[in-house]
Amino acid sequence: MSLDIRKIIGPRIIKTGISTFLTAVICIVLNLPPIFAVITAIVTIEPTAYASLKKAYVRFPASIIGAFIAVASLYLFGESALTYSLAATLTIFVTYRLKLHAGVLVAALTAVAMVPSVGDAYFYNFFSRLATTTIGLATSTLVNFFILPPKYTDQIEEMTKATTKKTHQLLVKRIRELTEGRFVSKRSEKEYSSIQKQITESEKLLKYQQDEFKYHRSNRSEMRLMNRLERESQFKKLYFIHVGNLIYLPENITMDFSFEEKEAMEDIARCLAGDLSTLKMTNPSIRSLRRCIRRMDGENDAFKIHVLYEIIIIYQMIVQHERASGENRKVNTQIKAD
């Protein structure tokens, strides 16, 4: 059984170690102080090569600004508490005003770290620190680009399956709560918030992977997988919003569901708790809810109509999604067979 060190330590930690080592070696060979370059290399490793390249264009001029402000502050006030404060504050202010947001941290660290080591050699130290910061930036960017390019697809797929399953379970639970007259449920709200955080994380990883494909070639199977994950993400986001509409009802709301409505809702909950691939669009309980809605008073039963329509919409969304997923699985199986 082979041991994958990336699963134990993590690609980003490995790349940070490689980046700092190479940065320090280059600076030592060039007889430059490595501390500034190493700090820069540590704080500039990004989740994707795209992010590294994009932010490098911002971080380089921001570092120049930080170094210049540090030297100017030290020349005017000498090494004092005011110099540290002024260097940090002015650097942050200027970089923000110039919209160099991605370079604020690197610039501020460069400015503050330069104050105690400049001495009287202002020009030499200015260009020396600039050179070491550039080495750190360039090394971290190249390492991030060529070494262990990130692949989040497996992680995204696992998170997508997990969050979709949890959303299904929450939906079934919520429909049963509504039939029991529990229109406000703090437990369901808490579960909803927990799933929402996981969905946000999976969307972030999906964005990282999309950015990565801009710089690293991918084969057709990887692109098909990405397209499927994007479709799953879009469905899950819309599905999740509709489930939220059933959970976040007004606190003082009251609804009196008839026996027919409760029976239909409970039957739909049972169907959704089972094998989703067997669901059909022509469900008798869905037709029953539609008949109930047509008999209602639109003004007095507005919230009840809203709830029942949401259940119908969610059910139909799931059926359509399962049908499309089944067809895609058949196509993928056929492609592999060919």
Looking at CATH, the fold of the domain delimited by 153-337 is given as Methane Monooxygenase Hydroxylase; Chain G, domain 1 (1.20.58)
**Paired tokens of 338:** 């060919």
First to last CA, the chain: 32
Contacts of 207 (CB under 8 A, 6+ apart): none
To the nearest 10 degrees (0 to 180), the angle between helices 104-114 and 35-43 is 160
Judged against a pLDDT cut of 60, whether residue 1 lies above it is answered with: no
Judged against a pLDDT cut of 60, whether residue 17 lies above it is answered with: yes
Determine the pLDDT at residue 335: 44
Q: Where are the domains of the chain?
A: 10-146, 153-337
**Paired tokens of 281:** 């669009």
User: What is the rounded (10 degree) CA torsion for 160, 161, 166, 171?
Assistant: 90
Q: Give me the mean pLDDT over the 303-311 stretch.
A: 91
Against a cut of 0.75, is the pTM above it?
no
> Residue 248 and residue 185: Cα distance in Å, rounded?
9
* Residue-wise pLDDT tens digits, 203-254: 888 888 887 777 666 667 777 888 888 888 889 889 999 999 999 988 888 8
* Residue-wise pLDDT tens digits, 41-71: 888 787 777 777 778 788 888 888 988 898 8
* Residue-wise pLDDT tens digits, 109-162: 888 877 776 656 677 777 887 888 889 888 988 888 788 777 788 888 889 889
DSSP letters, 144-179, are HHHSS----HHHHHHHHHHHHHHHHHHHHHHHHHHH
Judged against a pLDDT cut of 90, whether residue 309 lies above it is answered with: yes
